[in-house]
Structure 1
Amino acid sequence: MRYEIGAEPQAFYLCHCTECQRHTSSAFGMSLRCDPATVTVTGAMKTISRMSESGTRRFGDFCPECGVRIQHRSENDPSRLNIKAGTLDDTSWLVPAGHIWISSKQPYVVIGEEELAYPQQPEDKTAAIKERWRMMLDAGDA
């Protein structure tokens, strides 16, 4: 199973919610927001469906061969798709444009004062993070 992103991602950010910590067995999840119309998957994925704390149905798509989580999405917003950035062939260019759910971040994770950080999910659904990502790309910082 492989995937290809056919357009520039909309944003890259780190999510520190307890759900992402569980899914990744790490301190945070790395989310690369993409337009789902630009992502092509070769092969089949296995999908798990669950209800989030907010009452939204969420879908996690996994490689059926190795079990790695490839992406996640929400039933209520089909225009949003988050690729789990650790699955990219090359992650060396990734620099997060922001952090969400820092209210549940691990105490040893240090977020700089100049970084965008939100206690929970931002009301604007990551618009400021997308804008910062665009500025970073334009400046060659991501």
Structure 2
Amino acid sequence: MGTSKETYSLKGGCQCGQVRYELTNVPHEIYVCHCRECQKQSASAFGISVVARSADVRLLTGRLDRWTRPTDSGRSLTCFFCPDCGSRVWHGDKEREDEVSLKGGSLDEPVDLTDAIHIWTSRKLRGVIIPEGSRQYPGEPDKAKLA
């Protein structure tokens, strides 16, 4: 009997459809970020980041522009977006970093936030309810604490 290897594929892209990408392995974590920058970037109450290995993300069509901004934690973040519609696709330079965070709204299938980690909760908008029992941090957690 042969063994069958199931392939994992999760696709996404920008709003206008010029940029398409594929995630070929299960993501590590999902974050719901309540910082002010994510609120601005998403034009909503929070941003959703699906963290995956850079090697598991493939650009299928289109090209991305980049913009680098300071983060609330004092580091720099490189943001990749469609030059035509401006939609953010992922954060982090996959050519230089081990992980990137795919923007949750760019995925074709909605993200399940049941086990998402809520960060920067000290900046969440009034009225936003974080599910009871969710892991949450008032700022950006130390990666060692998440393991």
State the TM bucket, normalised to the shorter chain: 0.7 to 0.9
Any stretches of 5+ residues in structure 1 without a counterpart? 129-142
Match of 1:44 in 2: 63
Instruction: Say if 1:5 and 1:90 are closer, same or farther in 2 by CA, change over 3 A.
Output: same
Match of 2:123 in 1: 104
Amino acid at match of 2:65: K
Aligned equivalents of 1:69, 1:95: Cα separation in 2 = 23
Any stretches of 5+ residues in structure 2 without a counterpart? 1-18
RMSD: 2.1
Alpha-carbon distance, 1:74 to partner:
6.6
Match of 1:12 in 2: 30
Structure-2-length-normalised TM-score: 0.78
Aligned equivalents of 1:126, 1:5: Cα separation in 2 = 26
Match of 2:141 in 1: 122
Aligned equivalents of 1:64, 1:114: Cα separation in 2 = 39
Deviations 1:89-124 (CA, angstroms, capped at 9, x unpaired): 111645342200000000110113311111001123
Structure-1-length-normalised TM-score: 0.80
Match of 1:89 in 2: 108
State the secondary structure of the residue aligned to 1:70: strand
Bigger Cα Rg? 2
Amino acid at match of 1:99: H
Aligned equivalents of 1:74, 1:106: Cα separation in 2 = 29
Match of 1:21 in 2: 39
Aligned equivalents of 1:84, 1:52: Cα separation in 2 = 16
Calculate percent identity across the aligned residue pairs: 37
Aligned equivalents of 1:92, 1:108: Cα separation in 2 = 22
Question: Which of 77, 88, 101 pairs up with 1:58?
Answer: 77
Instruction: Say if 1:63 and 1:88 are closer, same or farther in 2 by CA, change over 3 A.
Output: same
Aligned length: 127
State the secondary structure of the residue aligned to 1:67: coil
Alpha-carbon distance, 1:58 to partner:
1.2
Amino acid at match of 2:27: P
Amino acid at match of 1:98: I
Alpha-carbon distance, 1:62 to partner:
0.3
Deviations 1:43-77 (CA, angstroms, capped at 9, x unpaired): 210101123343322111001121100011279x8
Is the CA contact (8 Å cut-off) linking 2:38 and 2:47 kept in structure 1? Answer: yes
Normalized per residue, the structure richer in helix is 1
